[in-house]
Structure 1
């Protein structure tokens, strides 16, 4: 039976409920968000003479929760306009409206009695066949549906979103005793395809998969930190980006999530898993109990493991439980990994360290390896789901079994033995059978060892994805040190950047030109995409800085012209070029996206022309392109100056869209040309489809533009008056005004006496001249240097 989700009801509007409601609104679904009626009036409501019968009062809780969610940073919603897809109400007056919903999601307080009471009320109005799920983080699913009808139980299961629902990809699906297989299959596909999640079907065991392993990892570190005499700064240094984990690492993450939340889950595991071999590890250390007693819960109470006092960040001393000035952490072992770009390649080095860091990694990894191996088949029959859960739910770049493979399965067992630990029997059986790793890549697909077949089988669900890691060598057509071209099949090539942060320098420029040359000669189309954390942070600033400092202006002029010419070649090639931006797509990365035939953008794309922050204007065609797009937007009877001003402000204010949908609002993505995919894993495959579609439809090489309407002195005068006023009001600095005036000159098309039609090359020449002149300015060089050393813009 085909099932469509047109409207969803979310019962419970707290942080999690509002976040889930916003994410369904993100993907275009109508949402009914409900919460309870307040028990009493606020002081303000009393002064206004309102009563508990007033509709606004009755919906106060749900409306306040949603409003707070929409104001939060980072935002739970792709575009504030999408909030209009959410209707609010209360469970007393509006519960009957769930009869019109296709999926009802319960997100109330984590108490079984309350949840069962809510389900009893829901069943009075729910129409048969409607999906009904609970977003519990640990209450057994089997207890929740007791006493409910057969149809209810058949369509009921757990669907555990991780907070924040927009950003964390893990979507755990936990079947109840009677859940129909078709319901699980539907939710699994819907999570992947529509919600953009990594769907993982888990067993109904305490804390399911993600939290069972994640909380073990954190509790393990809580005990290890005291035993090894480490500071919280040292642990955060060791468990952050160096091993492919978020910058917040361990203790900062706990502060953000809330220590009370972590303790709640840890206590649940301790109480409900008496036979777990690491049972005692889930008991709270003394310092955690004291922090709970003191209400030091993290960000929500103003202090936790870290505390901000004025501009200073203080750290908690776990021995004295007093706050002190944070200490910088450094280890010789970490220094040895600085030249290793990928975290997966660092693990072999880290476990060999002879200092305290090496000892820490040997102890923590061996404990994790032993624990995860013993959770199979308890929490899942397939260990790859544990890796998926940790990557999608906790932001790990690599799951525990992938890390174990990187170190070597036998080496991992050696580390365990040294710590008095042992793997589960199935691991030694795997090695004895001749399988020396958990994963292998064969014929472009990832395979994993299964306990059932005792052999390597293909990880399911890969057919919808193109995983570049799996084809990088077998399908390589060409490469240099910064770029690689792969054959995606069906006549479509892919160009992948491999420079630091995917910045655009000489090697990437060479790669773009080579990829176009190869595609025009023997293929049908080209995708420019990668699966790193970010698409591209822009041009190679260090290279620009060195040329400018050395006053090598001819060389710098040639480099900028090469970038511009490459963008124009990309736009006017004989084959369709599809850009696949995601993550940070800044400066030159944004310019590349704007010059492709189409962008297949991940929803989580943070895109913009940010060059003002380093004292220049967009020089790779971005300034030209904004003038061109303004010209294309002019309509009869428009005040053309106002239209142009919007595009000017986008560049001048260095606006960065916080989602692909906001990219449309600021004009760097275009409706009718560019599209958005919610699941980043599907992005390269989707981009390939569009390249193929354009090629097979009869792609024609575009004709170069000579019809761009620029407004000349009329626009230039308006911009110069505006920047003078901004400077007079002290909103911008003198150097800001100088940069803005240079941009104004380019986007106005110079000081032409009247509106004129010009070519792209005319604007590119103006752009390049302005860029170069700004590179001669001391204040620009200061801004570039500050960005390179501090990683943030300088206002000078």
Structure 2
């Protein structure tokens, strides 16, 4: 790798859906991005950048947002190919993202050659045009620094970045891009060969097309397929047909046709032929979400959304039906995906038949793509994990089922894998992956030995160390030794909610750390850090009017949060994805938060008719005190903090969490790469410990504003109620929130203690638990997942 190469400025050529969003993601990490496109035909003076400006504006307005925070858009400069192409001379990486036509790309590269500084990286975001064809006729320096860099859409959220070198690409260029993409862009970077559709789309489109043909042949319904290919097997909720609608059926057909023509010798090439029902759908312009209907259709009936599904035989839409399979029902209590899959593949019903037919075929196909599309099996799994959202890729699934036993079943079904699989088993290797010394190894086919996955040496992944390093666990938590005197606490309750077992785990972890270790990290590898407190438990106690017990539970929660803050060792929280309610409160009390960039953090208790009761309201009052200034700004700050809780604001990124006051500037930090989060959290914990950590002292100097702030909260709530923006019950919750944050109805600003505020907070929380309308709200969340505004 070229240690001297630094990327500070990136030029993105082409501002379409992909180009504008790629520019946004570079802006996300603080780089300067130059976004260029053509001058519109007949452009009037002053409007030569209209096309690119409109494209960027549309991207910034889109949902989900391609940018962590709208303020980061200042990192993007727009321009056009005619006036601004000379500016690329000052940029470190030039990415071409124009229309997928070789002739147009070559015209753009002609311009790039005129102005590009020698040694500058130049890549194409093509998803299908061969890289070697784009390199033809270019200068030697261009060829050496040119390759494919295929981002998946949307670039901020889908983690796959395929790097595809051409024949003359310098190895250090490829190595640099693989490293930069992973560490700084947060991508799963995969080295791919210059073959049609590369890795992700070659395997992904094969999987979709094989399912379409299976549906055409067997008559299995769209609803049944999507039930079988969703979360139950670790795939996204959009499963197969909804995913096709979102991607665009015409896009899927384009890629499949390209593969059909581009890989004529593919042993399963017939599956890239378009089924008749898909051809008719394209002819009818039923292209999915973009055209308003595809495999699914949404209509408005009496103001309500009504969903219908296409019958693949009649090509008529029918009301969507819920489907059930006996085998799926039996796996509802099986948490482990690998254990669940064993049951599903052994099932003797329609579901089992589907899984065996589809995945035995996929396993064989994937094995036969080595060494055609890649030399290494882990790259196929990585591409499917990151590009298609599969929790496990083809070889990981095969491992879970048992390689040797599954091989026999595949042969019996007429799906014979590649010879190297037989050679692997003959060499005494029984799995595609294994764990050694906390690192994940893959089976290297040429050497017939296991090797560490390149680029993962610096990662600390709990899945790799848990079995060997667990020092304590209960039903909801596990404490793991990370080495160097640091331990980690992870949750593994449903949605990582915080109940009694998690409270016990937090206290046990702090006790162990105080006795025998240097510090504690709280992190996990679940889908979300924590969805908050166990509201089901709160609901049951409130319904039974067990308020003394509920008071003890809330007090225990508060005490635990305070113990995180005031333990004798540093406590680091490393949240990712959702950190809501109690999960957010935990982070508020940590010594430092090392947050993943994709962090959706918020105090959302208002939505269930409550205020934050685990120290969150107290903490906002404390933070308000620390930033208060005399005069009107005082009340402005109070209002902002009050509204953050009162409107249950959730950050759309870690960057926004700073603006909302959930993260502290100068203290907390953001990590872009999810795989590096725990390693960085451990590093920060060690730094605090080794610098001579001093146990903090509980605060007794919190300045609360009393009646002045309380009046502001009351007036604001009543005004919102008068305008029909909130309900009468919302007013009551707002008043309780204002009462706590103001420090009660004190006649003047006063210094109070944390304990004083915690008591106010808990009292208000319990009073709201006694309200019928609060219980209705909690019940609505528990039974239907819907926020009730009663």
TM superposition score category, shorter chain reference: over 0.9
Query: Would you say 1:281 and 2:275 are equivalent positions?
Result: no
Q: Displacement, 1:721?
A: 1.3
- Deviation sequence 1:550-574 (CA, Å, 0-9, x none): 1111111111000000000000011
Q: Which of 72, 88, 94 is matched with 2:84 structurally?
A: 94
Report the CA distance shift for 1:734/1:155 in structure 2 as closer, same or farther (over 3 A).
same
| Count of matched residue positions in the alignment of Structure 1 and Structure 2 | 784
Structure 2 counterpart of 1:46: none
> Within 1, Cα distance between the matches of 2:409 and 2:615?
54
> Within 2, Cα distance between the matches of 1:218 and 1:286?
15
Q: Displacement, 1:345?
A: 2.5
Spell out the pairing of 1:169-568 with structure 2 (5 A cutoff): 169-310=159-300, 311-568=305-562
Query: Would you say 1:59 and 2:53 are equivalent positions?
Result: no
Spell out the pairing of 1:525-674 with structure 2 (5 A cutoff): 525-637=519-631, 639-674=633-668
Q: Which of 674, 688, 705 is matched with 1:694 structurally?
A: 688
Spell out the pairing of 1:151-170 with structure 2 (5 A cutoff): 151-170=141-160
> Within 2, Cα distance between the matches of 1:637 and 1:795?
35
Query: Would you say 1:19 and 2:21 are equivalent positions?
Result: yes
> Within 1, Cα distance between the matches of 2:294 and 2:50?
31
Q: Which runs of 5+ in 2 are unaligned?
A: none
Contact 1:16 1:163 in 2 (8 A): yes
Structure 2 counterpart of 1:34: 36
| Over 3 Å off, 4+ runs | none
- Deviation sequence 1:55-79 (CA, Å, 0-9, x none): 32x1111111111110000000000
- Deviation sequence 1:696-716 (CA, Å, 0-9, x none): 111100111001111111111
Structure 1 counterpart of 2:743: 749
> Within 1, Cα distance between the matches of 2:254 and 2:633?
59
Contact 1:570 1:595 in 2 (8 A): yes
Equivalent position SS for 1:122 = helix
Q: Displacement, 1:585?
A: 0.6
- Deviation sequence 1:165-216 (CA, Å, 0-9, x none): 0000101000011000110111011001100001111111110000000000
Contact 1:606 1:659 in 2 (8 A): yes
Contact 1:344 1:398 in 2 (8 A): no
Contact 1:579 1:600 in 2 (8 A): yes
Q: Displacement, 1:638?
A: 5.2
Q: Displacement, 1:53?
A: 4.3
> Within 2, Cα distance between the matches of 1:325 and 1:342?
33
> Within 1, Cα distance between the matches of 2:347 and 2:476?
30
> Within 2, Cα distance between the matches of 1:538 and 1:481?
17
Query: Would you say 1:127 and 2:117 are equivalent positions?
Result: yes
Q: Which runs of 5+ in 1 are unaligned?
A: 41-51
> Within 2, Cα distance between the matches of 1:36 and 1:792?
46
Q: Displacement, 1:418?
A: 3.0
> Within 2, Cα distance between the matches of 1:389 and 1:635?
52
Equivalent position SS for 1:93 = helix
Contact 2:119 2:141 in 1 (8 A): yes
Contact 1:369 1:412 in 2 (8 A): no
> Within 1, Cα distance between the matches of 2:789 and 2:336?
33
Equivalent position SS for 1:742 = helix
Q: Displacement, 1:343?
A: 2.3
> Within 2, Cα distance between the matches of 1:635 and 1:770?
27
> Within 2, Cα distance between the matches of 1:462 and 1:245?
24
Contact 2:216 2:275 in 1 (8 A): no
> Within 2, Cα distance between the matches of 1:55 and 1:278?
54
Contact 2:213 2:275 in 1 (8 A): yes
Equivalent position SS for 1:324 = strand
Contact 1:59 1:88 in 2 (8 A): yes
> Within 2, Cα distance between the matches of 1:210 and 1:166?
17
> Within 2, Cα distance between the matches of 1:781 and 1:505?
18
Spell out the pairing of 1:717-756 with structure 2 (5 A cutoff): 717-756=711-750
Q: Displacement, 1:110?
A: 0.7
> Within 1, Cα distance between the matches of 2:630 and 2:592?
27
Equivalent position SS for 1:351 = helix
Q: Displacement, 1:447?
A: 1.1
Q: Displacement, 1:636?
A: 4.4
Q: Displacement, 1:399?
A: 1.0
Equivalent position SS for 1:94 = helix
Q: Displacement, 1:639?
A: 2.6
Q: Displacement, 1:792?
A: 2.2
> Within 1, Cα distance between the matches of 2:291 and 2:249?
10
> Within 1, Cα distance between the matches of 2:561 and 2:36?
50
Equivalent position SS for 2:490 = strand
Q: Displacement, 1:637?
A: 4.7
> Within 2, Cα distance between the matches of 1:555 and 1:361?
48
> Within 2, Cα distance between the matches of 1:289 and 1:71?
34
> Within 2, Cα distance between the matches of 1:697 and 1:638?
40
Equivalent position SS for 1:706 = coil
Structure 2 counterpart of 1:45: none
More deviation, 460-469/79-88: 460-469
Equivalent position SS for 1:315 = strand
- Deviation sequence 1:125-158 (CA, Å, 0-9, x none): 1010000000000111000010000000000000
Q: Which of 2, 5, 8 is matched with 1:3 structurally?
A: 5
- Deviation sequence 1:256-296 (CA, Å, 0-9, x none): 11111111111111101011111000010001111111111
Structure 2 counterpart of 1:145: 135
TM-score normalized by structure 1?
0.98
Structure 1 counterpart of 2:771: 777
> Within 1, Cα distance between the matches of 2:63 and 2:37?
23
Q: Displacement, 1:789?
A: 1.2
Contact 2:441 2:451 in 1 (8 A): yes
> Within 2, Cα distance between the matches of 1:635 and 1:697?
32
Contact 2:403 2:430 in 1 (8 A): yes
> Within 1, Cα distance between the matches of 2:39 and 2:373?
38
Q: Displacement, 1:228?
A: 2.1
> Within 1, Cα distance between the matches of 2:27 and 2:406?
45
**CA RMSD after TM alignment:** 0.9
Q: Displacement, 1:419?
A: 2.1
